[in-house]
Chains A and B, each alone.
Chain A
Amino acid sequence: MSDPLFEFLCRMGDNTLVLGHRVSEWCGTAPVLEEDIALANTALDLIGQTTLWLNLAGEVEGRGRDADALAFRRDVWDFRNLFLVEQPNGDFGQTMMRQFLFDSWHRLYLTGLTESSDARISAIAEKSLKEVSYHLDRATDTVIGLGDGTEESHARMQAALDRLWPFVGEMFAGDAVDAALARQGTAPDPAKLRSGFDEQVGKVLAEATLVRPDSDFAHKGGKTGTRHSEHLGHMLAQMQWLQRAYPDATW
């Protein structure tokens, strides 16, 4: 196992990087102008957070890599993001359901990280938490509005939930990295956040008239880097081509 702290920082930064890039794919094509702007702003916050996490990862690693080097010069098997965030956007409803599920976990995890024994981590968490709470407010409103909306919007939101639910479990599955960080007081044990997540998400789904899937089967491997879905490679090919084709380009 490589340094747990470096692994953890890559996980944080890769989640926000991959989701930020995914959300930015909506720029210019969202259903209405206001949603387009909202999605672009959400992506911007996530990319800003990525810079903070990955710069710290590079600093901890001590091999002279900064956020750009880590974002644009690593291959797909070096990414440590959750399966959930690399899933394709689908329709607007699926994008917002993914956002809602991720934000719900992200807010709880960041809240725990504000108590981190590492002051660099608690500072990034404190900053990110404000932005993420705002994301969650909007995602919650949208899930309720579309879930408890028309017959069409309801059916699409239920389909999105059914499709994405198998990616929820990974957010709470701890491994040796999580255990090492929890022992040091650096990061919370993700498993302990599950009940809070279930309670909060359950309330929103009820209000949205959506039914939580019966099975809690979970796809795993994204955050440990064991495997990723085929979608991530395609996304990175688009995201990294310039820095790969013209290394160290400036303009």
Chain B
Amino acid sequence: MVVEKPLTETVWAWLDAVPDPEIPVISLVDLGIIRDVSWQDDTLEVTVTPTYSGCPATRIINLDIETALRDQGIEKLRLKTQLSPAWTTDWLTARGRERLESYGIAPPQPAGGPAHCPQCKSGNVERISQYGSTPCKAQWRCCDCLEPFDYFKCI
């Protein structure tokens, strides 16, 4: 049986359906860590960049990519890790940023802090800690509705 190689656009769409293991409202594509999808002869090569060098989710992400693509019938697959250029939150998609906010995580801002509280939208917010429950987040709180919330660190 001759199996056609799926178009790279199709592969991108499949990867866009794989959720981030720690923040499942956004996809791996939304997160901006899939850097390239290409065919090298009959092997599909997916280039992935880590968010943080010690992020424990990195291995799970690679496993999830492999599982998703195998489920689509990809047999020859190679995952390539690329460090440079280093991942930046500028690579989050616009849709990813919207999804983060509606999930209750303030998206990254170049100013280094959230634009407003993801719950009540008040700009009256303060930092609790530069770090949070995962390497990519910091803890903030709203001084109006008094809710604490996660902020996606801008790097």
Residues of A within 8 A of B (CB): 34-35, 37-38, 40-42, 44-49, 51-52, 119, 122-124, 126-131, 134, 137-138
A-B pairs with the 6 shortest C-beta distances? A48-B54, A48-B53, A34-B129, A123-B84, A123-B83, A44-B54
Chain B contact patch, size range: 20 to 34
Q: Which residue in B52, B88, B131 is a CB contact (below 8 Å) of A37?
A: B131
Q: Chain B contacts of A126 at CB under 8 A? A: 83-86
CB distance from A234 to the nearest CB of B (A): 24
Q: Judge whether A48 and B84 touch: CB under 8 Å.
A: no
A8 CA / B104 CA spacing, docked (Å)? 44
Q: A124-B83, A127-B84 are in contact. Are A45 and B129 (CB under 8 A)?
A: no
Q: Judge whether B83 and A46 touch: CB under 8 Å.
A: no
Most buried by B among A35, A41, A126: A41
Q: A34-B131, A122-B84, A126-B83 are in contact. Are A134 and B153 (CB under 8 A)?
A: yes
Q: Judge whether B83 and A48 touch: CB under 8 Å.
A: no
Q: Judge whether B84 and A41 touch: CB under 8 Å.
A: no
Q: Which residue in A41, A127, A137, A138 is a CB contact (below 8 Å) of B83?
A: A127
Q: Which secondary structure dominates chain B's binding surface?
A: loop
A122 CA / B131 CA spacing, docked (Å)? 26
Q: Which secondary structure dominates chain A's binding surface?
A: helix
B145 close to chain A: CB less than 8 A: no
Q: Judge whether A51 and B53 touch: CB under 8 Å.
A: yes
Q: Judge whether A38 and B129 touch: CB under 8 Å.
A: yes
A126 CA / B50 CA spacing, docked (Å)? 13
Q: Judge whether A52 and B83 touch: CB under 8 Å.
A: yes
Q: Which residue in A35, A40, A122, A128 is a CB contact (below 8 Å) of B53?
A: A128
Q: Which chain B residue lies CB-closest to A41?
A: B131
Q: Which chain B residue lies CB-closest to A32?
A: B129
Listed stretches B13-21, B31-39, B113-121, B132-140; interface member? B132-140
Q: Judge whether B130 and A137 touch: CB under 8 Å.
A: yes
B55 close to chain A: CB less than 8 A: yes
Most buried by B among A37, A52, A129: A37
A41 CA / B129 CA spacing, docked (Å)? 12
Q: Judge whether B53 and A45 touch: CB under 8 Å.
A: yes
Q: Judge whether A34 and B53 touch: CB under 8 Å.
A: no
